Chains A and B, each alone.
Chain A
Amino acid sequence: MWVEGNEVLTNALEIGGRSFQSRLMVGTGKYADNPTMVQAIEASGAQIVTVAVRRVNLDRSQDENILHHLSPDKFFLLANTAGCYNADEAVRYARLAREAGFNEFVKLEVIGDQKTLMPDVVGLVEATKVLVTEGFQVMAYTNDDVVTALRLEDAGCAAVMPLASPIGSGLGLLNPYNIRTIKHRLSLPIIVDAGVGTASDACVTMEQGVDGILMNTAIAAASNPVAMAGAMKLAVEAGRLAFMSGPMPRKEVAKPSSPTKGMLDQT
């Protein structure tokens, strides 16, 4: 990310034994059309791209298949279990996804409530345990509760993915304290997933010290998705770099930037 000089600033993101250069991961849903999706994803610089597992539409199957638009050689396809409301269902979708043959990773979602799309943390931990036993690299979409995050770490997740705010809401980082706490207490990579609305949300989220961000709607639902994808790429890099750079302390005192010495005598 930061190529000049300091090695510590340039380190890659390691998840489940794999190494990624970009800390921005993007979804592939909700775009007006596929060319816009492809351009936006390219502008985002993302390597990890999420996809959903759904039935083939037997009537007009061709165009839906994401593989017609995104090459698995170029992008790391991270299947999700979106839409699953219990552990068994999520495990079933995860197994189907792995069978597609790209990788052993899954973005595990066990939704607990249809209105808020907040996770069911009990089902989430349960599904994680099953999938870890089967050799999956589980990246678990969760709320911002540190205790659940610790349980997910114990259960063998590859990464924990707390939300910034509800999926698709664009409300931004509602509770920076909780995200910071999760980052401090866990050893796993923390990828904030869901809720980012604009570039400054992404930037301030990265400044909490987390390892990456996954977003979809903020790009797909912008007036200009391709340009917003570029903005998000810059914002994630800016936030990461600022975090690594050690920002100045904030204080309720003004201090001149120009020298106070060397002023002329009053005429």
Chain B
Amino acid sequence: MLNVADIRKDFPIMGQKVHGHPLVYLDNAATTQKPRQVIDAIVRYYETSNANVHRGVHTLAERATEQYEEAREKVTRFINAPSRRNVIFTRNSSESLNVVAYSWARKFLKPGDEIVVTPMEHHSNLVPWQQVALHTGAKLRFIEMLPNGLLRTDNLGEIITEKTRLVAVTQASNVLGTINPVTGIVRLAHQVGAKVVVDGAQSVPHIPVDVQALDLDWLAFSGHKMLGPTGIGVLYGREDLLDSMDPFLFGGEMISRVYLECAEWSELPHKFEAGTPNIAGAIGLGAAIDYLNQLGMKNVSDHEQRLVRYAIERLEAIDGFRLYGPKEPRGGLVAFNLGDVHPHDVATVLDTYGVAIRAGHHCAQPLANWLDVTATNRASFYIYNDEADVDTLASALVKTKEFFSHVA
């Protein structure tokens, strides 16, 4: 069990008042807050060890390189990657997915090939594949969704076929909270020789993820959604796949030898890290992983499960509350509408009570179309949220309802 009161003390932003009310931050699916430990790691790096990595002989350069590569080791262990060669630092999940799209899919796919995605994908795991389709002549195919927001699995064999070269699927939906059956999808895909790229932006921060146990080909996730700094993300890739891919960005660090007319590439993972990396970002992510490890990812996940169950129970009692997505299994977030009150209005009213939620399409417009809404509200939880936050949310929603009762 998490001790939320203790955890909160580690988050300097939590002391804050918004419009006179204590901040209740429920926009964690967008980005999470940062504990003192992560902020301190960044400060410490700049105050004691800042230098460029991999190239310098002097003490600071050695220190910076060591800390940067140590962060990579932490990521490696966190997702149980076979080696640090599998772990590439990027800016965010979006870039990680684009690396696979540019360096693998655009290289290997051809007309007649099929890319299987789902209608619940975040734009970052959809638009890159639309572009791959456009440029290679491959075709997009969509796994179907059941009315409750789960993926339909009984006809998966008709969608993932011999023509499939790639399946791009999110492990956890950032709107519906759906946890997708990645294991089954991977098994099916591998049976037909297809590769699987998993969007872990909403899973890696919240549940234990083991790339070897799941047998993933690629996994993308973002540091800023798991207590880490902005500007740092990860692409995990199987070594043979990474080896088969062309480099993505070209420049310093990623080369071994350069002549006027040509160049040779560095070994993994540097082949995919051109230019000076976000060194402080990687180190901050390492500190975030230390923090999560200390809590235990199983405990993090249990905490969120309990909280989201409580939230659904509490919110469904509100007149006009409509939940989107399945009840179980689900990640620690709830997307909903409140009668006819526009989500923008809900979010604005909640903000005047200090409650931060998100309103909009959550970068999943096709899913919004599927739900037949232009926008939804979304409250998303993390380790520093507790039942009291849900209660504040619920009572603010009741007040919102009342405020708009005579108009909407």
B and A form one assembly: no
